[in-house]
Amino acid sequence: MKIYFLSFILAFAMSFVTTPLVKKLAFAIGAIDVPDDKRRIHTKPIPRLGGLAIFAGTMASLLLLLPKSHETIGIILGSLVIVLLGVLDDKYTLSAKVKLVGQIAAALILILSGIRIDWISNPFGSGVIYLKSWVAISLTLLWVVGVTNTINLIDGLDGLAAGIAFISSTSLFIISLLNGRYATAVISIAIAGASLGFLPYNFNPAKIFMGDTGAMFLGFLLSAISIQGAIKSATAIAIVVPVLVLGVPIFDTLFAIIRRILNKRPI
């Protein structure tokens, strides 16, 4: 258990220490959330880019504690694409199409590294159903892009997205341990530590927002480890439980979309 403790502490400390530095960087480059409509809860400009601290904490644990397997490298490279996309969006407000292209590119990196949904459990009996390659790739793309945007859409209240990421990653950590997926367990507990390290700055009233940088990064990483650590495992619980864990933000997203449609607001 020593490696998991180190992963958590390292990610927590790095995230906690770097968040004030990221706050200064956000002000310096103008990545600021300005309250310019009635939907904003805060009344003064708040820096974005807080996700950079979460990214730094998580990556510190991954780079120092995990062997450089194809899957690990795929997760790191995909995360870099997502974080770069998030930083640009926090600064310049990218279009939905540009973000979608970037998210698909990151998802394809995961797929090329071997992280994809190759099979599903048989709903009509025992065993599993192996998917054709094009089905596996399509399903993985939908899952990764969907979960990435799910966390992004729910990031509307102080501490909400980071709190959900902490709960989800802690649950996925336990599931990974039960199924012998130790690399996934290290990543999961690193996400938990980095999210917790950021939370003191993000509780109401927030001193900094994680921005799209953090929300998309957390969603991307949660989608990746839920595939790597659970859907490839051989037991039903490793498939069902992560879906239930991630189902909390998914249902919240659906309700958020419905509310915005009913109020004739942009999604």
**Contacting residues for 120 by C-beta, under 8 A, at least 6 apart:** 128, 129, 131, 231, 239
Give the mean pLDDT per block of 10 residues along the chain (267 residues): 95 98 96 73 83 98 94 97 97 92 97 90 75 92 88 71 84 86 93 97 90 94 81 36 53 64 63
Q: Is 152 annotated as a binding residue?
A: yes
Check residue 134 and give its pLDDT. 94
Check residue 260 and give its pLDDT. 65
Residue 116 Cα distances to 112, 119, 134, 152, 252, angstroms: 9, 9, 11, 22, 25
Q: Is 202 annotated as a binding residue?
A: no
pLDDT in tens, 162-183: 888 888 888 889 888 888 889 9
Query: 39 in helix, strand or coil?
Result: coil
Return the domain boundaries, the chain: 2-115+122-262
Q: Are 83 and 198 in contact (CB under 8 A)?
A: no
Check residue 235 and give its pLDDT. 29
